Amino acid sequence: MQATEIHDHARRLYEAMGPKALAEAARRAREYEQQGSRDLAADWRRIEAALDVMRGPRAK
């Protein structure tokens, strides 16, 4: 999946799920890892990372 697609998926997932989107992306990545689908798991890890960037810096 290309970077533009990753960011589009991340944005749409965040619009649909709000703050729960990060957990959902992590869940899907784990699910695909357990199934042995490395490429799909890697895509979901990239979506998870994009969501983390979208969230911005964390307050201490």
Tell me if 24 is assigned to some domain: yes
Angle at 10 between CA 41 and CA 25, to 5 degrees: 40
pLDDT tens digit sequence for 14-53: 999 998 999 999 999 999 999 999 999 999 999 999 999 9
Copy the structure tokens of residue 9: 């998926």
- The pLDDT of residue 11 is above 60: yes
Model pTM score: 0.89
Number of domains in the chain: 1
Tell me if 20 is assigned to some domain: yes
Tell me if 43 is assigned to some domain: yes
Tell me if 60 is assigned to some domain: no
The pLDDT of residue 28? 98
The pLDDT of residue 18? 93
Pair 26, 41: CB distance under 8 Å: no
Tell me if 39 is assigned to some domain: yes
Task: Provide the domain limits for residue 19.
Answer: 3-55
